Chains A and B, each alone.
Chain A
């Protein structure tokens, strides 16, 4: 019995050594071509870039600072926000990037009962929006790893930053495809599938693992997005799909359209979203009066915005969505003091089965781009 036991232990040890050796061998085998691939890609990327450009690749901190005073249903909230974005390039093909949001939310102490005259109290919330590494693997493909924003619809990836969005209120359907965390932890492949003078087709495909780490929470999910853009008409149409693979496994779908006609300085965007708990749409138009007959230099910095949106409950709603049907028309007036400073104001009325309410927003946004390292100057 003892001999058998000793013999088994020897075999076990040998098997462990074989496993370890084969694992190390496999890692070596994988590392070698990976290094060659990375080196070749970086080298090729450097060769591909124009030699006569003065562009520098230094680490950058960009982002925005915003302050919004919101009055919704008679309850006043003060919302200051700092959203820094750190960009650290490593060569011309690797980029480390991260965005963190620091959002203050302050309301009067007796905000639930009135008369809304108490001192403002609240706290600052911190959120890691994304922390990802991007590897430009080929001309038309980029591999993203880490925590990234879910590529769903027009809003979450592209229009959500405070200095980009035309109206500070998020659309009523925003949580469809983004709830509950708005980000994924895993891998994503994205790029342009076809880039022709007449049209280009963009794509994103991702898979996310479950993560319960503080600030990095994510659900297990898969999904993707594809869009076609016609540059001569400045029209883009796209579709997004996402399936959560834990808890209630549900599908989320979106269809969107964006149009900036060349003949008029109008920006039209629309999106339809749906999942198991609800569906809805928003349609938004923004206009810079370029040809205003009086004081054109003043009015061309002004932006008029209008948005109509509606949400319909399905299967009881909730889960990040509203639990009753809602509708909200909203108008806004923004003024660009400079390209980085913007004053903004908006008014919307929420029609809800729980009661209607008015929403006012006043504030400003400032965006910045600062180099963190001395570099080549022109």
Chain B
């Protein structure tokens, strides 16, 4: 009986995962990143065209990676940004390129 219940839950779990994958795989219009409480605003000036792509890329990496585990901080003291990003690079297994773009986004 217990095995049957277990199998039932495992099947439900697998089915949920399959539905999730199908939902994700379905084509759809991509909306802008949701800005929850604590969303860090990009500080890049639109006038500075050379910095804007890097800032956008940094914002994308920030929204995709940091928000996976926790609500992002509203503000971050520039003095600690390098240290925190080094810590998060190890924890979140980011590449050097991601770290650079995040530095440019968070402490331009």
Contacts and interface: CB of A to CB of B under 8 A. Distances in A.
Contact of A192 (B72, B85, B93): B93
Contacts of B98: 195
A62 B108 CA distance: 22
Most chain A beta-carbon contacts within 10 A, residue among B6, B67, B77 = B77
A265 B34 contact: yes
Contacts of A95: 83, 86-87, 90
Interface residues of B, number: 57
Contacts of A134: 86, 90
Contacts of A377: 78-79
A339 B37 contact: yes
Contacts of A87: 83-84, 86-87
Interface in B1-35: 2, 6, 9-10, 13, 16-17, 20, 23-24, 28, 30-34
A234 B68 contact: yes
Interface residues of A, number: 80
A164 B107 contact: no
Contacts of A123: none
Interface in A130-173: 134, 136, 139-140, 142, 144, 157-159, 163-164
Nearest to B6: A312
Most chain B beta-carbon contacts within 10 A, residue among A56, A259, A338 = A56
A202 B64 CA distance: 14
B41 interface: no
Given A192-B95, A378-B78, A55 B85 contact: yes
Given A50-B103, A58-B83, A261-B23, 19 more contacts: A55-B81, A55-B85, A58-B80, A87-B86, A92-B86, A97-B90, A142-B90, A163-B70, A192-B95, A258-B68, A260-B68, A262-B34, A281-B10, A288-B37, A336-B38, A339-B72, A370-B80, A371-B79, A377-B78
Interface of A: 45, 48-50, 52-60, 62, 87, 89, 92, 95, 97, 134, 136, 139-140, 142, 144, 157-159, 163-164, 190-192, 195, 200, 202-204, 229-236, 257-265, 268, 270, 272, 279, 281, 283, 288, 290, 300-301, 310, 312, 325, 336, 338-340, 369-371, 374-378
14 contacts: A53-B103, A56-B78, A192-B93, A192-B95, A195-B98, A200-B95, A234-B68, A300-B37, A301-B37, A325-B2, A339-B71, A339-B72, A339-B74, A369-B84
Interface of B: 2, 6, 9-10, 13, 16-17, 20, 23-24, 28, 30-34, 36-38, 60-61, 64, 67-74, 76-87, 89-91, 93-98, 100, 103-104, 106-108
List of 8 A-B pairs having minimum Cβ-Cβ separation, nearest first = A339-B38, A55-B107, A139-B96, A56-B79, A55-B82, A57-B82, A375-B79, A202-B93
